[in-house]
Structure 1
């Protein structure tokens, strides 16, 4: 806290401002956070800006978080491994390098006394505060804006700010000592323009470090494990600048008398593996965790013996993973790379599916170097899926990984290869997604949007490194597993030695074809929805029918030129009835014309339907013995078209009265719900 005052990052509230209204001020509770592994500030003051005041509202409740303006953590780490010479740095007190405006300072008040017997004094922050929801955006945007403002003077440093900074951590590099020194100087100058200080400089090259002031270097390396190597924490990953390699941070788990679901989750959370280098080991306990959930075990209940045995062995072997050293740079720094390819592999089992990506780098001598880039695993859904579908999920996961790495590392699509050991998936990707059900078709579409079908190839299951991550390995098995760390042997050979599989050899097992039944019926040449009155539709239909008839007479004297007749209007009406009946009662009409009985479940059976001389379906039965007109004895039934007389006196009483009025002209099955009449030609109310 004395440092806050000495650096003018906090000030005593002036006496005049102590009289401000309550709505213009806010007091923040404060507590200390201990960080033993920090090489600079082991105790930090953190303000609880989520604490609510007497109004029931906290400072964070009134603020917006703001968007993320720095690149993802994975992208920064991926680019960090491309440089021959690595450079790391840290922005000193980045939050407290950004000033608060005068009105905002009173919203960041706190009380403090250096000794218990001293009087409490009102202070207020002059710089943005840890814990405030908007502070992260304000600090990161300040750094980014500083780079934008001075990009012309420091172009390389400005580019590094946009691509290689994660909050206050810088992970960058260069391919020569001269370039590295120039970049370090540009970064120092750029941040000095915004009154930021870059400190904790580190590099795998001593010449670069000699050009940096000793007080700004990272002179206190972190040692979490008892070894002679010097490690620093780089975005959660331990990095030895001296040996220029990474290792996984794994502390020896404390002994436990009882293994519960809570301790299982705790063990998984302690293993930070952002790039998935050790995913074959971590997926093994994730599968166990799913089994624990399936058995509905409470958080503090002991797990079953068959889970405990696997988990105990994994837990005992976990510290061995810290002995696996992974080179920071993807290639030998003494060679020149002339070609870069991405190779991705996917696989699935009943328990999980996975994807892993490798870089294949070719140097000037023609030798090929293989480096593990990234991998990702997912536990199979609790709702069981077939193996082909899980393999498809693995291929989808791989396409996403390849697309992401391709964009970050700027590798052309022509240099990307995707491999799977599932011939079923290859067969699916070789066809149209429309052939399959939604689950398969949607994922095929998503895959092909990211990776074209010509990029997918077949690999033997025994040579597929993704198999390690889909089935899981114990840490001792993963430690020296050549297939996982270096990929298949043929990847180091020329392309002529790569496995090939022609499309004719693809297995069709599991192919899903959706059967679509299409029913065809006569389509009217007149757009019905353009007419709101039945009489108008009938008259237009009459004129079209008359035109067709007249055009067939070569002798003009035989053509009909008189006004429309009642018989023509009836013919037009019959035409539309026939169109609708052909759409919905085609099978019934065919059965009646061929004198075949209707099925017992047919809804028309009780109506004793008949087909008249105009091939119209009409109601039969006892009504034919009545003295009513023919169209009343044998009415036409129309499910989708309701013929309404324009002079009906009941049109304004919907729905039941209107239906009764319609019944005088046509019979239909339902008269209680107007939703049954989907295609209705009527006069407006």
Structure 2
């Protein structure tokens, strides 16, 4: 930032940003972060953010980045040091980022303007991400591996990437550092599940720090550069390699054990305070962070409870009824049991696999419907591995629907989810298969949509627009993992999630019987009033 000359203090072109400090003692770097409130209205009642364009979305969804991260045998993560502050704002716009500041209460208030992209402005994420991608476009020809990763494996300033082996990891690290340095971006807090790669990166980071210090020392020997180097050194923070003794790391909100290469789940809820109201309950439920739906059978219970709160007619700060209170306290007290839940980070996928398939399951109950997707991998040695990829659940609408129609909603949800995962992981459509335990839904899918009533016809058309009828098969309910998610379980019943977490056993067979129970469907029967 720079001081604004006194004669320009009263310029009509400008905006002063309110700001305050937020202290994060749990952070290893940047414990104090300044927050700028660009949504605060000025003297004319209009805020800066109201007049700023947000910009289009440039990066993939968090879900997609996490899915791809799980596909790498060797995973790598890092983040950019003060990403926003590395991007310069156009000179004609910096006056809209003015602040008032003084070192202490005895000092005179100074007028400053911020010269780089600033937290709190609605356009900041777009400007920073667009600048990062531009580096890949401009310099990518010299660093092809890193350029591709920049465009696909960044979530804002977090790199979530990976490779096949140690050698590729070295190459990725080297190219990524060199590419981003072209745009003034530095990476820090490197993490990997490969211990040898971690040691190598740590050594490279230390050599980089030593080289930088030696360069500064050499430059200081030149009288012409003394002032310049002193100024730059005071402004520049050298990125550090962070290697915590604890193997537990937070990755985009998820808890990852890098030593065992597994995801864990930890729930941190505040102490219960009376009275328990709808506002407090929904606040607690919002802390259940499960972006890929690995805990859907447990989380769906919370979603169903939210629906009960709304249908009860309770106001936001009104105390729960005794029945709702008992149900909520029992569920909340059991949430701590989720800490025993673990899921592998790596999905056993490699570039030389013989076959990679997606298998999806759907089901519905009177309270909810669900879809879950597994990846089935046959490696070059003919070993078969099956892993949970993702799931989605939805609470059944308040307006009552029959079970077959809810099952059809679940099938629609599954078809969308399968296509989403296939596109994200680059799996061909012909390697997708869907399963349902509803013979009625499979019968509906066996005829042209025009034959059915509007509700069924619309959904059948949507499903068949994504997947062919030949890609659907019948599965018995006892082998259908989506059955668990559609009904929901209490956290204390987490041991019942074996089928959910470890997949149906028949997916591990060399040859899968897609005829299921050899059920035949009478497609000549008119649709019943389901």
* TM-score above 0.5, yes or no: yes
Map of 1:57 onto structure 2? 46
Is 1:449 aligned with 2:472? no
For 1:348-387, what per-residue CA distance to the aligned partner results, in whole angstroms no more than 9, with x for missing partners? 0000000000011112332311111000100000001111
Given that residues 358 and 374 in structure 1 are in contact (C-alpha distance below 8 angstroms), is that contact kept between their aligned partners in structure 2?
A: yes
Given that residues 368 and 492 in structure 1 are in contact (C-alpha distance below 8 angstroms), is that contact kept between their aligned partners in structure 2?
A: yes
Is 1:97 aligned with 2:89? no
Q: 1:330/1:218 Cα in 2 relative to 1: closer, same or farther (>3 Å)?
A: farther
Task: Write the distance in 2 (CA, Å) between the matches of 1:402 and 1:497.
Answer: 20
Task: Write the distance in 2 (CA, Å) between the matches of 1:478 and 1:495.
Answer: 30
Is 1:407 aligned with 2:396? no
- What's the secondary structure of 2:92's corresponding residue? helix
- What's the secondary structure of 1:57's corresponding residue? coil
Cα offset, 1:12, TM superposition: 1.2
- What's the secondary structure of 2:93's corresponding residue? helix
Is 1:396 aligned with 2:421? no
- Which deviates the most, 127-136 or 349-358? 127-136
Task: Write the distance in 1 (CA, Å) between the matches of 2:246 and 2:439.
Answer: 47
Task: Write the distance in 1 (CA, Å) between the matches of 2:349 and 2:444.
Answer: 39
Is 1:494 aligned with 2:510? yes
Map of 1:301 onto structure 2? 318
Q: Which runs of 5+ in 1 are unaligned?
A: 1-9, 222-227, 515-685
- Which deviates the most, 443-452 or 489-498? 489-498
For 1:589-638, what per-residue CA distance to the aligned partner results, in whole angstroms no more than 9, with x for missing partners? xxxxxxxxxxxxxxxxxxxxxxxxxxxxxxxxxxxxxxxxxxxxxxxxxx
TM-score by length of 1: 0.69
Is 1:331 aligned with 2:344? no
Task: Write the distance in 2 (CA, Å) between the matches of 1:217 and 1:76.
Answer: 25
Cα offset, 1:187, TM superposition: 0.6
Q: 1:155/1:419 Cα in 2 relative to 1: closer, same or farther (>3 Å)?
A: same
Counterparts in 2 of 1:428-447, with a 5 A limit?
Answer: 428-447=444-463
Cα offset, 1:323, TM superposition: 2.2
Map of 2:3 onto structure 1? 12
Cα offset, 1:513, TM superposition: 8.8
- What's the secondary structure of 1:128's corresponding residue? coil
Q: Which has the higher contact order (CA 8 A, sep 6+)?
A: 2
Task: Write the distance in 1 (CA, Å) between the matches of 2:273 and 2:46.
Answer: 43
Cα offset, 1:147, TM superposition: 0.5
Map of 1:185 onto structure 2? 174
For 1:223-272, what per-residue CA distance to the aligned partner results, in whole angstroms no more than 9, with x for missing partners? xxxxx852221111111222211112311542344433222211210110
Map of 2:377 onto structure 1? 361
Structure with bigger gyration radius = 1
- What's the secondary structure of 2:389's corresponding residue? strand
Cα offset, 1:49, TM superposition: 0.9
Task: Write the distance in 1 (CA, Å) between the matches of 2:419 and 2:310.
Answer: 33
Of residues 46, 52, 67, the one that matches 1:78 is 67
Task: Write the distance in 2 (CA, Å) between the matches of 1:480 and 1:460.
Answer: 17
For 1:29-84, what per-residue CA distance to the aligned partner results, in whole angstroms no more than 9, with x for missing partners? 11122333322112211111111111222211221111011111111000000101
Of residues 347, 350, 372, the one that matches 2:363 is 347
Map of 1:174 onto structure 2? 163
Q: 1:167/1:260 Cα in 2 relative to 1: closer, same or farther (>3 Å)?
A: same
Task: Write the distance in 2 (CA, Å) between the matches of 1:435 and 1:497.
Answer: 29
- What's the secondary structure of 2:314's corresponding residue? coil
Task: Write the distance in 2 (CA, Å) between the matches of 1:273 and 1:410.
Answer: 23
Task: Write the distance in 2 (CA, Å) between the matches of 1:256 and 1:58.
Answer: 36
Map of 1:207 onto structure 2? 196
Given that residues 237 and 246 in structure 1 are in contact (C-alpha distance below 8 angstroms), is that contact kept between their aligned partners in structure 2?
A: yes
Q: 1:175/1:217 Cα in 2 relative to 1: closer, same or farther (>3 Å)?
A: farther
For 1:156-192, what per-residue CA distance to the aligned partner results, in whole angstroms no more than 9, with x for missing partners? 1111111110100000000011111101111101100
Given that residues 371 and 392 in structure 2 are in contact (C-alpha distance below 8 angstroms), is that contact kept between their aligned partners in structure 1?
A: yes
For 1:104-130, what per-residue CA distance to the aligned partner results, in whole angstroms no more than 9, with x for missing partners? 111111110111221111111011111
Given that residues 304 and 367 in structure 2 are in contact (C-alpha distance below 8 angstroms), is that contact kept between their aligned partners in structure 1?
A: yes
Question: C-alpha root-mean-square deviation of aligned residues, in Å?
Answer: 2.2
Q: Which runs of 5+ in 2 are unaligned?
A: 210-238
